[in-house]
A and B are shown apart, each in its own frame.
Chain A
């Protein structure tokens, strides 16, 4: 299988020249992103997400380990011709939006009428076709992020690496970007998406990875992760509030949540206590729940180790 991105046991250590302090941003990080998938890359601030992306783009050299992007070693300039990249807190030159997108397209080898066409299409894709002749310096942060996305799309890339692409966008623009990503996947593109907006990630990503303190702590298909540890909410009446741990009572109605695997036992217990079942509903976990669970777990492990 051809992978769009491969991180092989990557370690990145930042060293401060003056204070001799060391910071381990990535610690033996390995990950493979398959072609044609939307991959969500999650982690709390300082987890090493941007470092991993910067290593892939060749902005940095790893302390140890290797990696490949579209089959070429990280840092190989020609491989980037097929890559679109949007950095977190995008910074662009102050010139007319269309001229700017053309500039970046030209840097990726596009020429003449093809370049003009692609620049127009990229601006249209992010909804900025009416702002093409305006100077980017006068754009709002959200618009700037959309121009950043347009410059990433201008070369019709096979691999899109997006670092927080929707952080400054309003809900409408977010929906548009989501549709754009889904369309890109339909066209066979690979998208590597780093985001703190977990609801967005949950909606579009095929697989997700959670990074914590430079280590990969969870990896899997989004559907599988959401189904893991599934829970059920049971609402009953006619039983005592303390019959089930964590149960809440309101107007004589008892509401409690249990693991789905223990659902049958719980229902039989309600009946044996003379209670009446009012409803049984599966509780869907969100990616946010999983993210919080994983990071909290890692934090406690870290504290335990100390």
Chain B
């Protein structure tokens, strides 16, 4: 477990600059909330908040899609996997790292969102639950991207992930409930559609499905990654 934690923290450390830029983005949002007349432009503020919030899913796909590629290209993966680190542990560490990075973003967004949306007169009771939705969605999206990146380059891995994540949007037209098959879409849609009404219902089920599917995709990724020659040039 400690090995996984070390790899996860190391991933976050290596991604510190992108994470910092994302945090600055969140702070900018808070600053805009501070300088604008939030009461007159509250719908605009809500729109920007939701949009910035859902970006985390996109970031997680980029993090997941490029993690292994970057490590292989730089050959740093060799020193890590020359230790008593199994490939499953290595992937778990990367999933953990992506989740920590996205949680940091969502936490910062939760704080600034609670403040700015509260100032604008919205109910902020649901903000943290929605952030939990986003963490779960980004964890699953990142794991799917990671799974594809075990055998595809980052560009194709991101593309394949986008296709998989988009499937439930099409499936939703088939019948009710199908949008939950890969709940990144439904979790993100819940954030986008939220009116920040205290009486609005948020379900735990998609969260549970997201966690379960993260495990499923991690197992798939581990199976594929175990068969890959990691010392071969990725160029």
Question: Residues of A at under 8 Å CB distance from B?
Answer: 14, 50, 54, 57-61, 77-78, 80-81, 83, 85, 87, 89-93, 95, 103-104, 106-109, 148, 151-152, 155
Q: Known contacts A87-B79, A90-B75; can you find 16 more A-B pairs with CB under 8 A?
A: A59-B81, A60-B231, A77-B84, A78-B84, A80-B84, A85-B82, A92-B76, A103-B6, A103-B10, A104-B80, A107-B3, A107-B6, A107-B7, A107-B80, A109-B84, A148-B79
A91→B75 contact, CB < 8 A:
yes
How many angstroms from the CA of A185 to the CA of B229 in the assembled complex? 32
Per DSSP, are chain A's interface residues mostly helix, strand or loop, or mixed? Answer: mixed
Let me know if A106 and B79 touch, CB within 8 A: no
Bound: A59/B80 CA distance, A: 11
Expressed in whole angstroms, the Cα–Cα distance for A93 and B10 within the complex equals: 9
Interface pairs (27), CB distance under 8 Å: A14-B232, A50-B231, A59-B78, A59-B229, A59-B231, A61-B227, A77-B84, A77-B89, A81-B83, A83-B82, A85-B79, A87-B82, A90-B79, A91-B74, A91-B75, A91-B76, A92-B76, A104-B80, A104-B83, A106-B2, A106-B3, A107-B6, A107-B80, A108-B84, A148-B79, A152-B82, A155-B83
Of the candidates B10, B74, B76, B82, the one whose C-beta lies within 8 Å of that of A57 is B82
The answer to whether A61 and B229 touch (CB under 8 A), given A77-B86, A106-B6, is: yes
Complex CA distance for A80 and B230, rounded to whole angstroms: 16
Query: Which residue of A has the minimal Cβ distance to B89?
Result: A77
Which partner residue on chain B sits nearest A81 by CB separation? B84
Residues of B63-115 contacting chain A, CB below 8 A: 74-76, 78-86, 89
* Chain B residues closer than 8 Å to A14, beta-carbon distance: 232
Docked CA distance A90–B79 (Å): 8
Known: A93-B14, A103-B6, A106-B2. A151 touches B79 (CB 8 A): yes
How far apart are the CA atoms of A60 and B80 in the complex, in Å?
A: 15
A58 to B89, CA, bound (A): 15
- For residue A152, which residues in chain B have a CB less than 8 angstroms away from its CB? 82
8 pairs of A and B residues whose beta carbons are closest in the complex: A85-B82, A81-B84, A59-B231, A107-B83, A91-B75, A77-B86, A54-B231, A60-B229
Question: Would you give the shortest CB distance from B36 to chain A, in whole angstroms?
Answer: 40
Most buried by A among B7, B82, B229, B230: B82
Q: Which residue of A lies closest to B75 (CB)?
A: A91
CA distance A108 to B13 in the complex (A): 20
Q: How far is the CA of A122 from the CA of B25 in the complex (A)?
A: 42
In chain B, residues 1-44, which have Cβ atoms closer than 8 Å to a Cβ of chain A? 2-3, 6-7, 10, 13-14
A95 and B12 alpha carbons, distance in the complex (Å): 13
B78→A107 contact, CB < 8 A: no
Tell me the minimal C-beta distance from A62 to chain B in angstroms. 10
A50 to B233 alpha-carbon distance, docked (Å): 13
Q: Decide: A59 and B6 in contact? CB cutoff 8 A.
A: no
Is B75 within 8 A of A87, CB to CB?
Answer: yes
- CB A64 to nearest CB in B, in angstroms, measures 15
Residue in chain B with minimal CB distance to A161: B82
Q: What are the residues of chain B within 8 A of A109 when measuring CB–CB?
A: 84
- Give chain A residues whose Cβ lies under 8 Å from the Cβ of B83: 80-81, 104, 107-108, 155
Question: Would you list which residues of chain B between 120 and 142 have a CB under 8 Å from chain A?
Answer: none
Q: Within the assembled complex, what's the spacing in Å between the Cα atoms of A14 and B231?
A: 12
CB distance from B92 to the nearest CB of A (A): 13
- Of chain B, the residue at the smallest CB distance from A95 is B13
Q: Is the CB of A91 within 8 A of B79?
A: yes
| With known contacts A92-B79, A103-B6, A60–B230 Cβ distance under 8 A | yes
Q: Which residues from chain A contact B14 at a C-beta distance below 8 Å?
A: 93
| Nearest B-chain residue to A106, judged by Cβ | B6
- Closest beta carbon of chain B to A155's beta carbon, Å: 8
- How long is the Cα–Cα vector from A103 to B10 in the complex, in angstroms? 9
Question: With A60-B231, A93-B10 known to touch, is A104 a contact of B79 (CB < 8 Å)?
Answer: yes
Chain B nearest Cβ from A201, distance in angstroms: 22
CB distance from B232 to the nearest CB of A (A): 7
| Cα-based distance from A113 to B230 in the complex (angstroms) | 33
Chain B minimum-CB-distance residue to A105: B83
Most buried by B among A77, A107, A152: A107
Q: Which residues of A contact B75 (CB under 8 A)?
A: 87, 89-91
Give CA–CA (A14, B83) in the complex, Å.
Answer: 25
Residues from chain A with Cβ under 8 Å of B85 in the complex: 77, 80, 107
Most A-side CB within 10 Å, residue of B74, B78, B81:
B78
Contacting residues, chain B, for A50 (C-beta < 8 A): 231
